[in-house]
Amino acid sequence: MAAEQGHSDAQHNLARMYEDGLGVKQDRELAAFWREKALKEDKLRTSPD
């Protein structure tokens, strides 16, 4: 799954799905988990080398 491979867009999408219960059972804890992973990936992509 793309989210598990570190793709932040997929992680953001998955967080939104769990937050809103879109196609999955609503789960705020999983939403927070994926949102946090996405934010970390975003920081890695935007930090200077």
Residues 6+ away with beta carbon under 8 Å from 7? 41
pLDDT the model gives residue 43: 86
Is 26 part of any domain?
yes
Lowest pLDDT segment from 14-18, 21-25, 27-31, 41-45? 41-45
pTM of structure:
0.85
Does 2 map to a domain?
Answer: no
Give the contacts of 1 (CB within 8 A, at least 6 positions apart): 10
What is the pLDDT at residue 45? 80
Range of the domain at 27: 8-46
- The pLDDT-based confidence of 48 (bands split at 50, 70, 90) is confident
Residue 38 counted as domain residue? yes
Question: Position of tokens 């200077």?
Answer: 48
For residues 38 and 33, what is the distance between their CA atoms, to the nearest angstrom?
9
Residue 16 within a domain: yes
Statement: residue 49 has pLDDT above 70: no
Q: Are 28 and 19 in contact (CB under 8 A)?
A: yes
37 or 47: which leads in pLDDT: 37
1, part of any domain = no
3 belongs to a structural domain:
no
Contact 34, 41 (CB under 8 A): no
The answer to whether residue 24 is domain-embedded is yes
